[in-house]
Chains A and B, each alone.
Chain A
Amino acid sequence: MLQFLIRRLTGAVVIMFLIGAFTFFLFYTVPQDFAALSCGKNCSPENLAVIRENLGLDKPITTQFWEFMSGIVAGRDFPQGHCSAPCLGVSFESGEFVWDSIIDRFPLTLSLTVGGLVIFLILGLGSGLLAAWKRGTVVDKVVSGASIVLSSFQIYLLGPIVLGLLVYSTGIMEFPKYHNFTEEPGAWFLGMLIPWVVMATIFTAQYTRMSRSTMIEQLQEEHVRTARAKGMRQSYVFFRYAWRGSLIPIVTILGMDLSALLSGAVVTEFTFDLAGIGRLAVDSSLTKDLPVTMGVMLFGAFFILLLNILVDLAYAYIDPRVRLS
């Protein structure tokens, strides 16, 4: 198992390096003068030269690449001060260190993800299991029908409806806003509740459908029938035998969803006017703030790799056949 982890982690480091290199060359080889962008209109050649030097754009591209990559590992110095590792460079727009603006936004993204996750896992898997258990009954039909309707909804449709009902017309809740969790947990909870519920609704519907269908599939497995033939209780067979097999596809999708959410829930953030990682990514690409775009991409890639490893570990835990081969 340790060997497996070491192998995967080494692989992840290599992939991170390749992604870094790829994004760097992709962006820096585009025919675009970033110094001119940063300088704005009526830019004098002197100003342009200064900006170029400040951004390090006057150096050869290999040097720039080396500085960028080594900065991530060891940090680097900029005219405005030392940027400690992991240094992802300086924003063209704000002049802030990219890593700082990411870390600044991350608590919101993390809160949004974790809160939504708790809701959609409990409701989604719970209702999916219920529907599979009561397959063919009214309960199943109601749950399945509702999940189909809800999964065809969109956050940007459901969000304004909920806001209209709870905020604008009745004033029951305040407009969603992020508060620091450690300082004001109560305000944090209330501020995030609407985004959580709206985002989780869409996910819940998907997880309901997925867990229902994989459970029904698993319940038809022969080993599940064997367990029944041994005289095991139906609920025992359901949870111990069928559920165990259903976990594999669920964990796979969950890993993908989580890494996507952690690298920024763009639609949710825009719908509720929250400034998270997704917002940062979109804003940076609109303003051609290249270091920020690259930083956010690398940050997202990190979560994708991390969750991939975690999902593989989960497979090994769930299925002994994976563990030993």
Chain B
Amino acid sequence: MTTLTKTEGEKAPTGPDSFLSVRDLRVRFSTEDGIVKAVDGLSFDVERGKTLGIVGESGSGKSVTNLTVLGLHNPKTTTVEGEILLEGQDLVTTPEKEMEKLRGNKVAMIFQDPLTALSPYYTVGRQIAEPFMKHTGASKKEARDRAIEMLTKVGIPQPRTRVDDYPHQFSGGMRQRAMIAMALVCDPDLLIADEPTTALDVTVQAQILDLLKDLQQEFGSAIIFITHDLGVISDMADDLLVMYSGRAVERGAVREVLREPRHPYTWGLLSSMPRLGGSTSQPLMPIPGSPPSLLNPPSGCPFHPRCTFTDQVSGDRCSTERPPLGEGRAAACHLTAEQKQTIFIDKIQPRLR
């Protein structure tokens, strides 16, 4: 976990293993209603060959962060500050022409809903072959062979005939496999998976997760895995970043965060998740309220209006002072370590059984 020891806002030097390093990223959209702070001072690192899980509610900035990594935001309405260092190259300042060469090549993305994310007008084979031809200069024939090879790898039966099928002729799970084949066709070093299993049913979900893990071993790609499903994340990720209101509120190795969460928001996420074999007499505890408006985020700690432990913090620090996210294994909360431990053991842990 060496990469998680960097201070927030610190300007590199990135460790030898740190493949992607995001530093103090701020993404703002200007809308008719005002400026939306979609991402507000986010830092994280991803190691080569490892998986970083990002969890958080809708609107917490997970997807925006990753679209920004690929440079897919609308440049006219979006301002991006901070650094996104991919092997030392800052993607924030990289011109569009250069970004085109990176996308689908060094960095690839898997989207949530393969039905809408694949074009209905072209064959699966063509859609897989396209980036391969573009990035490697392969001929049509070579690209087609490569598409068949990729379909075989992701476990599509009869790839030689299926390559000429259209997405609507595939089932949901097969479409997501095709999408994965498309993302991996150029052997990317970083794969961003934006809720890749949300649109699939549970059995297919498990297959897709296994596939991703297998392919990661084979290709050695780093993966950023975005989800709001904590069950999935414990299976997939090495490290975990919990996001709330465009910021990271907790991070650490996935086991540590899930076994001993330190942020009230993470507690809330875990308590609101049903467990197989959990006691039926133990009601689920949803987090009260709804995610804050990013147009006008709450002062201080953005979670304070929904937090049930603000009374344990002296004064009104929760509503005035933004808690910093410390180094390494950390949580951005004003509660002291002892308070967190006591609350967790007394109130939270019994619920997680």
Please report A residues at the B interface, Cβ cutoff 8 Å: 136, 221-234, 240-241, 244-245, 318-321, 324
Contacts and interface: CB of A to CB of B under 8 A. Distances in A.
Given A228-B72, A241-B119, A244-B119, 16 more contacts: A221-B116, A223-B116, A225-B72, A225-B111, A225-B117, A226-B118, A226-B182, A229-B103, A229-B111, A230-B108, A230-B134, A231-B102, A231-B134, A319-B120, A321-B168, A324-B169
Given A136-B76, A320-B166, A320-B168, A229 B120 contact: no
27 contacts: A221-B116, A222-B117, A225-B111, A226-B109, A226-B111, A226-B118, A226-B182, A228-B72, A228-B103, A229-B70, A229-B103, A229-B108, A230-B108, A230-B182, A231-B103, A231-B104, A231-B134, A231-B135, A232-B100, A232-B130, A240-B122, A241-B119, A244-B119, A245-B121, A320-B121, A320-B168, A321-B120
B76 A223 contact: no
Contact of B104 (A230, A244, A320): A230
Contacts of A231: 100-105, 131, 134-135
A279 B119 CA distance: 47
Interface of B: 70, 72, 76, 96, 100-105, 108-109, 111, 113, 116-122, 130-131, 134-135, 166, 168-169, 179, 182
A228 B119 CA distance: 12
B131 A226 contact: no
A157 B311 CA distance: 74
What 8 A-B pairs are tightest by C-beta distance, nearest first? Answer: A230-B104, A231-B104, A231-B103, A230-B131, A223-B119, A222-B116, A320-B166, A229-B109
A322 to B, nearest CB: 10
Contacts of B111: 222, 225-226, 229
A-side binding surface: helix, strand, loop or mixed? helix
Contact of A229 (B72, B121, B168): B72
A233 B119 contact: no
Given A320-B168, A324-B169, A227 B119 contact: yes
Nearest to B99: A231
A229 B121 CA distance: 17
A238 B8 CA distance: 39
